[in-house]
Amino acid sequence: MESITLYAYAKLNLALAVLGKREDGYHNMEMLMQSVSLHDTLRLARAEDGIRLFCGRSDLSGGNDNIAYRAAEQFFQFTGRKGGVEIHLEKKIPLQAGMAGGSADAAAVLTGLNFLYDAGLSQDQLSALGVKLGADVPFCLTGGTAHVTGMGERVAPVSPLPSCYFVIVKPEAGISTGAAFQAVDNCTALRKVDVSRALKGVSYADMHEIAVSMDNTFEQVTVLDEVFDIKRQLLQKGALGSLMSGSGSAVFGLFQEKAAANAAREAFSPLYREVYLTEPVDCGVKIL
């Protein structure tokens, strides 16, 4: 096969606890993560040599400061395969949103090259490559619903969510992941986030328990007031629960009924440029 097309799915954090900074500079985390149907599309084509990345956006690099490009570099260095790749990236996942858009693209590149070059890398090997690129890449390789620990490298699938919908609203302002972690490190009065309660709700398929237990350490240090305005409005429009995803700035509402979710999407769409109605999916990368 000479080319392949893949979907790289966004993620939401239904619960996120920053447990502390490690000696290597990374942070130990505990998270309940969920892949959702919003996705980037990547087309990978074999080339004789070199890596070329085309994304058609002025705010995204096509060079090795793009995580998708670096994923291809990692693959060829690790496997020793001769050849190259041309990557065409159609970006839909918002930037600086806490939705692992870059990590999802890296996961898709690793998955696609493993398939195109028949490299036979196991999921564990792909994850070991992925975590060098970003802490969310191992989850994005697996996807679905998962309990994620360590710096993000330990991914344990859990029971899938019951049928539900997420309305995601991304404010114009983004939030730097590095700045968010710095704010957590500098805060001396953080409330403990109990991820186990959200996991229990998932195990019982109890949507209301999941909703009331959604929590995120990063919300305690965000200075973006718009996050809390959006949360309040989503709850007013019928969301069972609402939370900022990851380090932000995207905010999502959890809905049980599609009609209510769609009504919320329609209400937010005139106010914000990036508003999405999504639902859970059971994988992080899909080969078409």
Active site residues: 11, 136
Q: Which of 119, 94, 114, 117 is nearest to 104 (CA)?
A: 94
Q: What are phi and psi of 169, to 5 degrees?
A: -125, 120
Name the token pair of 110.
């690793």
Query: Residue 71: is it exposed, middle or buried by C-beta count within 10 angstroms (0-12/13-18/19+)?
Result: buried
Rg (CA), the chain: 18
Q: Give the strands of the sheet with 251-255, arranged side by side.
A: 241-244, 251-255, 165-170, 274-278
CA 213 to CA 191: how far, in whole Å? 14
Instruction: Give the 3-state secondary structure of residue 19.
Output: strand
* Residue linked to tokens 């599609």: 258
CA 210 to CA 161: how far, in whole Å? 9
Instruction: Locate all alpha helices (DSSP H) within 132-257, ordered by sequence.
Output: 137-142, 177-186, 195-203, 207-213, 225-236
Instruction: Give the 3-state secondary structure of residue 172.
Output: coil
* Cβ atoms within 10 Å of 133's Cβ, excluding its own: 22
* Residue linked to tokens 């090997």: 125
CA 242 to CA 14: how far, in whole Å? 9
The two beta strands, 251-255 and 165-170, are antiparallel
